[in-house]
Structure 1
Amino acid sequence: MTLWLTAMLVWVAAGARVGRVLVKPATTARVAIVVAVAAVAVAATVAVPEIALAIDNLHPRGLHSGLLSDGVLTSAWILFAIATSVVASAAWPVVSRRNLRQIAFVIYGIGLVAVAANLFWSTTFGGIVVALGCVFIVITGVRNLDWTTLGRGIAIYTAGTALVAVLAILEIRPAIADAPVTKPGEPDWGWPAWEVAGLLIAFGAVWIVVELWVRARMLLRQIKLLHRIMIGRFPEVVAHEQAGTATQLKASDQVAQIMDALYLQSGGGVELVAAGPPPPSVAVRADRVAQWARNPLGDVVVDARWIAPPEGISPRGWVQAIARAYDASTPVPVRN
C-alpha cells in the first residue's frame, strides 16, 4: 500500500512541475526537472509488485525472474540522474545559458546510451551510472545551499539524491562481487529507503511552489483585518478585475492595496512637522502607524515618511509588521 501511495505522491509532484512549465517559459532546466521527477514517478510505479509482474509478463520468452522490471526500474533512475545532471550543470559558472542546451544534448545522449546498455547488457552498469550521476548532483547541490526558499528546496532534493547514490552503491557492490543483494529468506530492506528517496526528491522539486503558497496564505491571514479596514476607507485602491487570481498574486495585490491606502490616508506624500522623523526601530514605527491606521483623527500623527518601508525591509515585511501591531492593539470581544 505504501508503494502505491509513494507512486501517487511522486506523480502529483511531477504534475505540479508540468503545470509550472506550462505557465512559465519552458527553459532547458525546467524541462529537465520535469523529466527527472517523472522518471522518479516511473521508478516508484515500477517498484509496485503488481506493476513489476505485469512488466515481466511482457517478456517474449515468458521469463518472470524480474530481469525486465529491474531493467526498467534502473533505466528510470538513470533518466533521473541524467536529467538532474542537466540542471546541476546550469549551476556551474563555466556553463552559460547559451551553451547549456548543447551540453544538455550531450548529457541526454550519454543517458540514452546508458539506458540501452542497462536494458540489453547489464543493470550493474546502469547502477554505476546512477551512482556517478547522483554524486555529481550532490556535489553541485552542496555548493549551492543557502537559507532561501530555493536553497531549502535544493537541500531536500539533494538529500534525496544522496540517498539514491548510497542505495545504488550498496546494490552494485554485491553484484560486482557476484553475491546476492539479500540472502534467501531475508526481507529487502532497501525498498523503504528507495521510497524515502523518491519522496524527498519529489518534495524538493515542488518545495518552492509549496512554500510560496503557504507563505502567501499566512500573509493573507495576517493582513486580513488591516486590509479590510483600509480598503473600506479607500475602495478605489482595489482593481475589481483582479479578483480570482492565484494565492501568491492575491497576497501581493493586497499588500500593494494596503500601502496605497495608507499613502492616501497620509495625505498623498505631504510631510508634517508634527509627525517628526520616523525612529530606527521597526517595531516602534509599526506600532505608531498601526495606531494611526486605527484612528487617523486621533492624537497620533503620521506622514508619508512613516508609511514608506524602513531601510532593509520589503513592502511585504513592512505591511506584516503593521498588521501584527494592528492586531495586537485590537480589543478582543468579550462573549457573555
Structure 2
Amino acid sequence: MSSPKSGGAGWLVLLALLVLVLAVASVLVGASDVSMLALLGIGGAPADPMASQLLFASRVPRTVALILSGMAMAVAGMIMQMLARNRFVEPSTAGTVESASLGVLAVALFAPELPLFGKMVVSAGFALAGSLLFLAILRRIPQRSSLIVPLVGLVLGGVISAVTTFFAHRHDMLQSLHAWSTGDFSAVLRGRYELLWIGFGLTLLAWHTAHRFTVAGMGRDFSANLGLRHGRMVALGLLIVATVTAVVVVTSGMVPFLGLIVPNLVSLMLGDNVRRAVPWVGLLGAAFVLACDIAGRLLLHPYEVPIGTVVGIVGSALFLFLLLRTRARVG
C-alpha cells in the first residue's frame, strides 16, 4: 500500500472505514441504551420500544449531522485559505462565524417566526458580508505576513461578537446567544438537521471546482492570464463558505478551528494538490468531529461536554502549534 503522502486510494479507504467505525460508536454511545440487546430483546429480555425511537429520532440524525458538519466546515476552511492565500484563515478566524451569529440574532429580534430555512438565508447573508469585510481589510494592509492575517480576522470577529453581545444583552437574549456560540449537537433531532445536506452539496461543488479555486488563489492577474474570471470564483467561494457556516451555526452552533486544523494536517501529509486533498479534508473533518463529540460524551458520562468546547481546546492548541511552527521556519 502506498504512503498517505502519495495520496494512495488505500489510505483514503482506511480513513473512510475510520469514519464508519466512529459513526457506529457515535450511535451507540450515550446515557440511554440503544444496543442490539435493547433494540431486539436478545437473550430473552423484552425489546425496548423507546430504544428504537431514540435511535431513529436522535442518535442517527445526530451522527449524520456530525459527519455533514465536519466535512462541510473543513472544506469551507480550505476554500477560505485559498482565497485569502493564508493557511491560518478559516470561518472562525475571519469573522465569518461571528457574522453568521449576528444574523441569527437579527432574525430572533425582528422575525422570530421565520422558518429554519429563512434563518439560514439571513445568517448566510450576514456571513457573506463579514467575509467580504475581512477580505477588504486585508487588501488595505501592505506587506502583510502570514501571522498578521489571522490576527486581523480574530480582531474583526471580536468586534462583531461584541456588537452581537451588546444587542443580545439589551434584549435579554444572552442565553440564546450562548447556545448559538457553543457548538452542541445534543439537541439535533430528526427534522432539524436536514439543512446540512445543503452543505454536503456545496462540498461536492467545491470538489468539482477545486482546481479553479487554486488558480483564483494565485491572484487576479494570474487568473486572467489563464482565462479564469477571478471575481466570479471569489464570489462563488465566499458564497460556499458563508452558506456552509450559516447552515452549521443555525443547526448546532459554532465549531471553532475545524476549518483551520484539518486542511493544514492534510497539507502536511499530501502537499498542496487541492483537488486530491478535498476528499481527505472532508473525511478527516468528519472523523475529527465524530471523535471530539464521542470524547465529550464520555468525559463526564452521563453528562456531556459540548463539542464546541472540545474542538475549541484541541483546535486552539493545534493552532498555536502551527503558528509557532511557521514562525520558527520563517525565523
Question: TM-score, normalization: structure 2?
Answer: 0.29
Relative contact order higher in (CA < 8 Å, ≥ 6 apart): 2
Structure whose alpha-carbon radius of gyration is higher: 1
